Amino acid sequence: MSENSEIEKIILSFSKNDWLKTAMILAETLRECDARNIETTYEEIAVKLGKLCDLKQLESRGDLANWRHSEVRLPQT
């Protein structure tokens, strides 16, 4: 499994049905990546999070570039 898909799985594992701050998802994902010895940065994780939103695997509100003032959640059915 590539590190890219592993990081995306980690992002999704921290995402919930309720809105959560983008900054919190990024911090938790980076912490988990460190624990798994996956080298990455906040910026790289943010790009992957944006990709997940583009693919409709996550919903977002606010400007994702402004991590403290945007939120993400799992898609609502």
**Whether the Cβ atoms of residue 23 and residue 67 lie closer than 8 Å to each other:** yes
The verdict on residue 76 lying in a domain is: no
Percent of the chain with pLDDT over 70: 95
Number of domains in the chain: 1
What distance in Å separates the CA atoms of residue 50 and residue 56, rounded to the nearest whole number? Answer: 10
Nearest-10 Cα torsion for 1, 43, 72, 32: 50
Q: Reply yes or no on whether the pLDDT at 1 is more than 60.
A: no
**Whether the Cβ atoms of residue 7 and residue 34 lie closer than 8 Å to each other:** no
Percent of the chain with pLDDT over 90: 94
The verdict on residue 8 lying in a domain is: yes
Whole-structure pTM over 0.75, yes or no? yes
For 34-47, write each residue's pLDDT tens digit. Answer: 999 999 999 999 99
The verdict on residue 61 lying in a domain is: yes
Domain enclosing residue 64, as ranges: 3-71
- For residue 67, give both structure tokens: 């991590």
**Cα end-to-end span (Å), the chain:** 29
The verdict on residue 77 lying in a domain is: no
